[in-house]
A and B are shown apart, each in its own frame.
Chain A
Amino acid sequence: MTDATRGNGRAGQGSLLVSDARTARRNAAERRFRIYGLLAVSIGIVALVVLLVSILANGASAFRQTTIRIDVPLDAARLDPSGTRDPAAMAGVTTFRYAPLLREGLAATIAAAGIEAEVDDRALDEMISDESVAQLRRHVLANPDLVGQTVPVEVLASGRIDGFFKGRVTYASAELDSNVTPEQLRLAEELRNAELLRTGFNWRFLTAPDGSDTRPEAAGLGVAILGSIYMMLIVLALALPIGVAASIYLEEFAPQNRWTDVIEVNISNLAAVPSIVFGILGLAIFINFMGLPQSAPIVGGLVLTLMTLPTIIIATRAALKAVPPSIRDAALGLGASKMQSVLHHVLPLAMPGILTGTIIGLAQALGETAPLLLIGMVAFVREYPDAPPDGFFDPATALPVQIYNWTQRADPAFVERAGGAIIVLLLFLLAMNLTAIFLRRRFERRW
């Protein structure tokens, strides 16, 4: 015993109450390792928080929009020269005739509220979004009976006025800005005090089509969301059955030989091919060779299907591999055919994995931008695509491309829009991942 405490190399001979040097070293190493791990996790969390905060700070205001309530006198002489109230005849009247009505309406409304306007007609005009004129015209054409009356309309304030109430535009910045004057801002503030101008939730941001370069306040995600949903439908409808069928064949039926090895390696390679290459492929094959329309969700969907297939195949094969072979043996031993053993037993067990892989693949496809740029989905699209299946061939854009598009535009109001669009995209991804978790839980909980 005394020999041991002197340290002749035998472990565990000293008192248990005192940790020996070796144990202390091991514990210190373990503590250090835990600190590294914590550090790594914290870096990840900090990065995520910074990302989310910056996106929210930039984009959250896109979900609020400033509108002005104006009592517009719909002058019959100007809007319906023929006096028939026939929408076809009234359609001949351009927005050019409507613009003064809005301005006059605004002036009258301001006067009625007892506000003293220090701005001229042109400045009044500038406070209202150009989009509002078109909006008013559409409204009147849809309801010809309104002509001759004075109707209250809620119109979009121009981007600078909107920005003033979101803190983007200040009196100081207005001094230097050729698009807005401090007087206009002062008037806007008085309008708000008179409750004629208010800032509310911006439904139009989610439903309206894109706005032109000069009308950031009117730009919405409607077409982009529809386009993205259409493409996801196409990807799901094509990639899931093709991917699952290919994986089942490769995993359960295909003989193990050189050819299947080659196919396997190539599927893995395909998963690593840069997405822009798929875009070039789509351009060459689907548009130039097959003559499908440009900017259409069908082409985008096909390209994204090609991109998603390897992901789904790899995930499905992993899920099939994870099913214990004893289940296959049990089914085959009972006289089930190969296909019965796969369809009745293996596939249901692999389902959670397959669904997770599919949704991860879809989420990847949803955020993909590069290939869509090449097949012309960057186009400026104002028209909503029709309902599927015809709508698959109509021009549309997609969420990530719309974000890319908005970040390219000059007006700073588009930065806010892009931030808002990123939030929408993230919410979509979150929803898809939650679906994946939900489905996995559901299928796994069966037994």
Chain B
Amino acid sequence: MNDTGLTDTAPAKITARGVQVYYGGTHAIKDVSVDIPDNTVTAFIGPSGCGKSTFLRCINRMNDTIAVARVEGDIRIDGEDIYDRRVDPVQLRAKVGMVFQKPNPFPKSIYDNVAYGPRIHGLAKDRADLDGIVESALRRAALWEEVKDRLAQPGTGLSGGQQQRLCIARAVATAPEVLLMDEPCSALDPIATAQVEELIDELKQNYSVVIVTHSMQQAARVSQRTAFFHLGHLVEYGETGRIFTSPEDPRTESYISGRIG
């Protein structure tokens, strides 16, 4: 059943084969194989604790920061093994941006928040260049009009939805190729959620977006492909429309119809 993830339509950006994740003695991800195409939004759905966030964090090696976590298997981006000994996770994370569940702007100004990534990666030649990067990132996150007059004010002073869009702008500013989003709307109200979803839809033009969500409606609204995780297994993976209308696996069906999870 795990090779349901290998149905291929677009060229794959991320390929995972036989991924296992252990947290100490817990086997959190069991033999997951999946191909994630470029320029699409891929949603990971499933009940709490099913491993969807854990798997997402494998893609930019954020699990490295957890001492007890151990990842086995093969994950490739553009054919390069990201768990290769020669890969520096710092370099990888510049290529694979991440937006977290809770908006976590730095306690710095809005400008500094967005400029931080470009600064540490040396993406800007001079101040004017950096200003340009910040502006275009904020525009892309649909935040520019709201904050252009108060870039020097603290990012923590924005509303929750604005903070999350600021975090998206911050992730976009480092010019990643893949954008991972871990339940980006769970702390937001419906209006802010709608804004972020609209944004995600635009972002897929340039990035491969992978989003973990609790809300099946959200997965149906924003994603082109959906993966259903259950108890560490990738149960079913395919086109979003098909997953929601005619799921093949009984577990997917009972989750979607609300019987489990």
Contacts and interface: CB of A to CB of B under 8 A. Distances in A.
Given A327-B106, A329-B62, A349-B107, A334 B154 contact: no
Given A255-B67, A335-B117, A329 B94 contact: no
Nearest to B107: A447
Contacts of A335: 90-95, 117, 120-121, 174
Interface stretch (A107-115, A336-344, A385-393, A405-413): A336-344
A389 B90 CA distance: 43
A256 interface: yes
Given A326-B104, A334-B170, A446-B107, 15 more contacts: A326-B100, A326-B102, A327-B107, A330-B105, A330-B167, A331-B106, A333-B171, A334-B93, A334-B94, A334-B117, A335-B90, A335-B93, A335-B174, A336-B120, A447-B154
B94 A447 contact: no
Contacts of B243: none
Interface string A302-344: 0000000000000000000000101111111111110010001
Interface of A: 255-256, 324, 326-337, 340, 344-345, 349, 446-447
A73 to B, nearest CB: 73
Interface in B135-161: 154, 156-157
B65 A334 contact: no
A333 B93 contact: yes
A331 B120 CA distance: 10
Contacts of B213: none
Interface of B: 60, 62, 65, 67, 90-95, 97-98, 100, 102, 104-108, 116-117, 120-121, 154, 156-157, 167, 170-171, 174
Mostly helix, strand, loop or mixed at chain B's interface?
Answer: helix
Contact of A334 (B107, B108, B120, B156): B120
The 5 closest A-B pairs by CB, nearest first: A335-B94, A333-B98, A326-B104, A335-B93, A447-B154
Contacts of B154: 447
Contacts of A324: 104
B182 to A, nearest CB: 10
B93 to A, nearest CB: 4
A332 B62 contact: yes
B90 A330 contact: no
14 contacts: A255-B67, A256-B67, A329-B100, A330-B167, A331-B116, A333-B60, A333-B62, A335-B90, A335-B91, A335-B117, A335-B120, A335-B174, A336-B90, A446-B107
B65 A345 contact: no
Contact of B106 (A256, A330, A332): A330
A333 B97 contact: yes
B90 A327 contact: no
A327 B106 CA distance: 6
Contacts of A331: 106, 116
A328 B65 CA distance: 10
Nearest to A330: B104
Nearest to A340: B120
B104 A334 contact: no
A443 to B, nearest CB: 11
B155 to A, nearest CB: 9
B67 A329 contact: no
B112 to A, nearest CB: 10
Contacts of B156: 447
Contacts of A256: 67
Contact of B174 (A255, A329, A334, A447): A334
Contacts of A327: 104, 106-107
A344 B107 contact: no
A393 B104 CA distance: 51
A59 to B, nearest CB: 45
Contacts of A336: 90, 116, 120
A331 B170 CA distance: 10
Contacts of A337: 90
A256 B65 CA distance: 12
A329 B104 contact: yes
Nearest to A257: B67
Contacts of B93: 332-335
A441 to B, nearest CB: 16
Nearest to B92: A335
Contacts of A349: 107
Contact of A332 (B65, B102, B108, B174): B65
Given A255-B67, A345-B106, A446-B107, A334 B116 contact: yes
Contact of A344 (B67, B91, B116, B171): B116
A270 B65 CA distance: 30
A337 B91 CA distance: 9
A345 B156 CA distance: 14
Contacts of B102: 326
Nearest to A334: B117
Contacts of B95: 335
A333 B100 contact: yes
A357 B105 CA distance: 27
Candidate in A333, A344, A447 with the most chain B CB atoms within 10 angstroms: A333
Nearest to A324: B104
Contacts of B171: 333-334
Nearest to B103: A326
Candidate in B60, B106, B157 with the most chain A CB atoms within 10 angstroms: B106
Contacts of B106: 327, 330-331, 345
A256 B69 CA distance: 13
B133 to A, nearest CB: 13
A332 B180 CA distance: 13
